[in-house]
Amino acid sequence: MTDLEMLERQMTEWRRDLHAHPEFGFEEKRTSAFVAAKLREFGLDVAEGVGGTGVVGTLKRGNGNRAIALRADMDALRIPEQGAVEYRSQNPGVMHACGHDGHTTMLLGAAKLLAEDGGFDGTVRFVFQPAEEWGKGALAMLDDGLMERFPFEEIYGLHNMPGLPVGHFETRAGAMMSAEDNFEIVLKGVGGHAARPHAGNEVLVAACALVTNLQTIVSRRLSPADIGVVSVTELITDGTRNALPGLAHILGDARSFRPEVSAEIEKQMRVIAEGTALTHNVSAEVTYTREFVPLLNDAALVEEAFAAARTVFETDHVGTAREPMTGSEDFARFLEHVPGCFVFLGNGRDSAPLHNPTYDFNDAGLIHGTRFHAAIVKRRLPEK
């Protein structure tokens, strides 16, 4: 058995252990302890509790004064697992439905590989981040002095991608993943008996009209050249079978790739909400927040990532992502401070979708992510 085959076997064990013990954002105490113990075992300097439950490992070789960072996310989702694997979640109602167990494992594998083999000159920061799923973990680490305590000049991250074959690699320059805005619209009227709608100003008809009207933001109020998504995900009222509601909450999210588009979506949402409410003789209150910023890859570092990937993957398995993805990633917060590149690795054509209760990370992809991490380090911090 080769050293890489042995590492792959070890990583499969680590990944399945992490999968069996998922933890929600800022609750990753067992996961963080697992990561810190492994990093110390590999000989790295380790800092725990960065941004709450984050971990940063530092590995230095040679005399180079440049530093780069590699990042993995550790948190799981509040989704009951429906898979039947023997290593399924032992934490009821929580599961690794997005593959962060795999991301953490691939970065641990890279730390072990680089600690043993070297092959670079400079400093590598291994950033294990909490709470990616709700967009707070990167900010927490940054607010806790990540850049000052563990400085680096550029950063790389990756995410598994269902539908993309294992052993395939994709990235693109510029917009890679979208911003995510959240909104809540509260409609207030006067509820009453279902048999006497004329006696009050019920809100359900207004809410249904508003849900439909919000769809015109993208179809009629944004330029066709801009990418935007407005999705209503919840409609909650205080009505019951024979009582018309006097209060309705409409919640959802919006996606975009430019701040100007985000601002226009908010502006038009307020205009439509107020106009629809006026038409139905009720009031509207709009709360609009920005949770994730757009993920914008540095063009020069994308080319570096492609070059590193071609040393790991077959040449025809390295490609440019055709279009930006309207999902969001708080890796983008790091890119507000330093240039970097985020990439996608295949999780298999038959993989369940991300955030699906039957999803599972494909262990066959572990070694590819680990080797890519190591390759980008050796390319960006070459031995003199």
The domain locations on the chain are 3-176+295-380, 179-292
3-state secondary structure 119-137: CCCEEEEEEEECCCCCCCH
Q: Is 100 annotated as a binding residue?
A: yes
Residue written as token pair 């000989």: 43
Task: Record the tokens describing residue 70, joined without a space.
Answer: 């590699």
Q: Is 337 annotated as a binding residue?
A: no
**Residue 341 counted as an annotated binding residue:** no
- 21 labelled ligand-binding: no
Tell me which fold the domain 179-292 belongs to: Alpha-Beta Plaits (3.30.70)
Q: What is the pLDDT of residue 319?
A: 97
Residue 280 marked as a ligand binder? no
Give me the pLDDT at residue 2, please: 87
Write down the pLDDT at residue 360: 98
| pLDDT at residue number 275 | 98
Question: Who's near 267: CB < 8 A, 6+ residues apart?
Answer: none
Residue 194 · residue 264 · CB < 8 Å: no
Q: For residues 346 and 324, give the distance between their C-alpha atoms in angstroms, rounded to a whole number.
A: 16
- The model's pTM is 0.93
pLDDT at residue 384, as a whole number:
82
Per-residue pLDDT of the chain (384 residues; tens, 9 = 90+): 789 999 999 999 999 999 999 999 999 999 999 999 999 999 999 999 999 999 999 999 999 999 999 999 999 999 999 988 999 999 999 999 999 999 999 999 999 999 999 999 999 999 999 999 999 999 999 999 999 999 999 999 999 999 999 999 999 999 999 999 999 999 999 999 999 999 999 999 999 999 999 999 999 999 999 999 999 999 999 999 999 999 999 999 999 999 999 999 999 999 999 999 999 999 999 999 999 999 999 999 999 999 999 999 999 999 999 899 999 999 999 999 999 999 999 999 999 999 999 999 999 999 999 999 999 999 999 998
Instruction: Compute the distance between CA of residue 95 and CA of residue 302 in angstroms, rounded to an integer.
Output: 32
pLDDT at 83: 87
How far, in Å, CA of 343 to CA of 322, rounded? 13
Find out whether 204 and 153 touch, Cβ atoms under 8 Å. Answer: no
Domain range 3-176+295-380, CATH architecture: 3-Layer(aba) Sandwich (3.40)
Q: How far apart are CA 335 and CA 69, in angstroms?
A: 11
Instruction: Give the whole-angstrom CA distance, residue 203 versus residue 183.
Output: 18
